[in-house]
Amino acid sequence: MHRLIFILILPFAFSCKNDGYTTYSDNLRYKLHAFGNDVELQFTNYSVVKFYPDSGKSFAEILDLSIPSPLNEYLKTSYLDDSVSLILKDTILFGNDEVKLTIKVIDILSQEEFDNLRSEEKEKYLIRKFTSNYDFNDQKLNWKIGLLEYEPSGDTTKVVCGREIALRYEGSLINGLTFDSNIQDTLPLEFPFCSDNQVLIGIEKAIDQKFLNDKLKIIIPSQLAFGKNGSVNQIVPPYEPVIYQLKIANVYVQKNEIN
């Protein structure tokens, strides 16, 4: 089972009387530009499509190709790098105007890749909804830690690799459900900083170069937290961003070290 991404380009008004177009229905005429690539797109159920209308801002949409329609029937028989020129009229998207669009098949995704893409887009939406100042930098989702709150203590004892540190933490989901906390424990979590499998990668990145008694509230994308599988106990779902409140309770400095 495969999924694909289409991109629509070169929109402009066009007369329906062009002889190069084949009539599919009263609302659709098309002209195929096939490039002979042997990668079939048949049996595809969903497509991520970018529309460039005659006017207005471009937008993306998810098409369910299992729903019968003239456009979907054509797309299901396309090949990688094929393109088609379409003339649409009386559509919900474009009103009663006739619009020409050129669609080109630019990628084919496996089921897993497609599911990952949808999950990442959902996660990006959740994080941006929670904090408006989070910037992904590019379309490939350059994941990083989102700093929600930071209370510097003014101390000069720094968290650096090799030092033993003590950490207080509380982890919660976007919906507020607390799933991990040592706030009420007698002792904080102690571990040598930069050692493997002690804390989430996102937590390690967040407290690196911070100082004793600093407090932070962060949002961690799943790629730096529990990933595509979620937590072992399944409390944190797959592709779920998490929020942590942190306090650096202690940083142990050897006598021969300099803060």
C-beta atoms surrounding 254 within 10 Å: 9
Architecture of domain 2-113: Roll (3.10)
pTM value surpassing 0.95:
no
* Helix residue ranges per DSSP H, the chain: 70-75, 111-130, 201-207
Smallest Cα–Cα separation from 113: which of 166, 46, 15?
46
Q: Which two tokens stand for residue 151?
A: 């209370």
Top-confidence residue, 90 or 83: 83
Select, from the ranges 60-74, 84-98, 226-240, the one with the highest average predicted confidence (pLDDT). Answer: 226-240
Q: Considering just the CA atoms, what is the radius of gyration of the chain in Å?
A: 26
Q: How confident is the model at residue 30 (pLDDT cuts 50, 70, 90)?
A: confident
User: Do 2-113 and 131-252 agree at the fold level?
Assistant: yes
Give yes or no for residue 200 having a pLDDT over 50: yes
Assess if CATH 3.10.50.40 describes domain 131-252. yes
Residue 42 is predicted with a pLDDT of: 47
Give yes or no for residue 8 having a pLDDT over 50: no
For the chain, the structural domain boundaries read: 2-113, 131-252
Top-confidence residue, 230 or 114: 230
Residue 90 is predicted with a pLDDT of: 61
